[in-house]
Copies of this chain bind each other. A is one copy, B any other.
Amino acid sequence: MVKSRSRGSNFDCVTCIMRKRSDWSVLGRDEVTLLANGQSSFSYGSGEPVYSMGESGDGVYCVCSGTVAIRRLDAEGNSVLLQLAYPGDTLGYEAVLTGEPHRCNAEALGPANVCHIKSLTVKELLDKNPNLGLQFLRRTAASLDDAQDKLVHHATLSNRAKLAHLLLILMDRYGRRTADGTSTLHLPVSRRDLASMIGARHETVSRIIGRFESDGIAYFSGRSVRIPQVNALVEEIRPQLVG
């Protein structure tokens, strides 16, 4: 179900509720007007690219609704899902700042609304309000921290532990705690993407899922996951301590 990208008119920065929770919250009243003038909003269908590796950055993107996947492909075509972007997140500013082409693909994981702010406007705003740049800097530093944490996990955890950890992270956004202490989770991504996020093959993920079910830790049905005790997942993360 891949609709083609369509221009939407429903989103306007001045009234946008996401703006207050985003990097753009540092802007003053007339700066927001400038932002609104340099902006266009688009609707995307599932799987549709927002931007692609190699394209030059003609502006930045701000997620208004939905989830956007940030991926990188290597020379052999392996796709790695690096990050999930949510409403309020700003994407693609690296390319605008450096003048280099985009290093990643950004793709809507479901119906999504994403606004585009053209480079000129971004540069004017950065110039007018230095806090915007500092805000981007804080955000980028947080992403770097996140990426470095992932590197540590890739270096020290088993695939099973990494999958448990990933499920816990996805729980934060997509999970729901039911009355009797069990939790449920609707996965935003396929098994293949799940696998690429932890640096494993999709067959391996299938097998780990099988073992989670045998061990009573998590039960999968399509993209729905039922987790009787969240704490059991936490236990999975620390390497086996003997004693």
Cβ proximity bits A154-169 to B, threshold 8 Å, 1 near / 0 not: 1110000000000000
Task: Tell me, yes or no, whether A239 is within 8 Å of chain B by CB.
Answer: yes
On whether the beta carbons of B138 and A134 are closer than 8 Å, the reply is no
Output the least CB separation between A231 and chain B (Å).
16
Task: Contacts A76-B238, A133-B137, A137-B97 given; indicate if A104 touches B155 (C-beta within 8 A).
Answer: no
Binds B, one of A27-35, A41-49, A111-119, A139-147: A139-147
Say what secondary structure dominates the interface of chain A: helix
Is the interface on chain A under 10, 10 to 19, 20 to 34, or 35 or more residues? 35 or more
Contact of A136 (CB < 8 Å), options: B82, B137, B142, B155: B137
Q: Which residues of B contact A140 (CB under 8 A)?
A: 137, 140-141, 144
Per the bound structure, the CA–CA distance linking A145 and B74 in Å amounts to 13
Chain B CB within 8 A of A151 CB: yes
**Complex A-B, nearest 8 residue pairs according to Cβ-Cβ distance, in ascending order:** A155-B199, A130-B130, A147-B147, A94-B141, A137-B137, A154-B154, A144-B144, A78-B156
- 6 A-B residue pairs with Cβ-Cβ distance under 8 Å, sorted by A, are A76-B238, A82-B148, A98-B138, A133-B134, A137-B137, A144-B147
